[in-house]
Amino acid sequence: MKQRDPLVATLLSLFVPFYILYWFYATAKDMRQRGGNPPSLWRLFAPLLGLVAMVVVSLAAPRGSSNSRGVSIVMILVGLVLVALSFVLPLMYYYRFSATAEKLTGGKVSKAVGFLLFLFVAPAAVYIIQDKLNETSGTLPTATPPPTNPVDGSVPPPVAPAPPNIPPTPTNPVL
């Protein structure tokens, strides 16, 4: 996992517009590499896409016709659903992201604390989760590098396994 300075990530999320979305993306990618299952970032954008679709449909709807009242009712219902989704989907995202952070840090970050911090003080959640992920990133088992030749540093060629020692029999003559 990439080591990021928690203080820099926090300050950038405070002062750079949309940096926290990049942080979510990059950290989720690192979490997947470590075997976690963070949520997909589409959950934060799905309500916005729905609102854009609603605006396009409302602009394309005929005005002043006998059908405009039915279109208006449908648009109100669609709008209510999209408003509800714009609250529910980010909450689900924060919860699953915090649960993945809890799993990968071995419980150093509680999913409940992470979720509440994302709700009320997101930059504090960025700092705490990034700090704990940095602490635990070196604890994963890593593959051992192949042995190298101490003289020139080259990797020796792979050794073929020895053939099995099978005694000659009438059904298995030695060639």
User: Mind listing the pLDDT tens digit of every residue in the chain (175 residues)?
Assistant: 688 999 999 999 999 988 999 999 999 999 999 889 999 888 887 777 777 877 777 777 666 655 666 777 877 787 788 778 888 888 999 999 999 999 999 999 999 999 999 999 999 999 999 999 999 876 544 445 556 666 666 666 666 666 667 666 666 555 5
Residue numbers of the domain that contains 11: 6-137
In a domain, 64, yes or no: yes
pTM of the predicted structure, to 2 decimals: 0.68
In a domain, 54, yes or no: yes
DSSP states of 118-158? HHH-HHHHHHHHHHHHHHHGGGS--PPPPP--TTT-PPPPP
In a domain, 175, yes or no: no
Q: What are phi and psi of 96, to 5 degrees?
A: -65, -35
Alpha helices, DSSP H, located in the chain: 6-15, 19-33, 42-60, 68-104, 111-120, 122-136
In a domain, 82, yes or no: yes
Please count the structural domains in the chain. 1
In a domain, 164, yes or no: no
- Do 61 and 78 meet the contact criterion of CB atoms below 8 Å apart? no
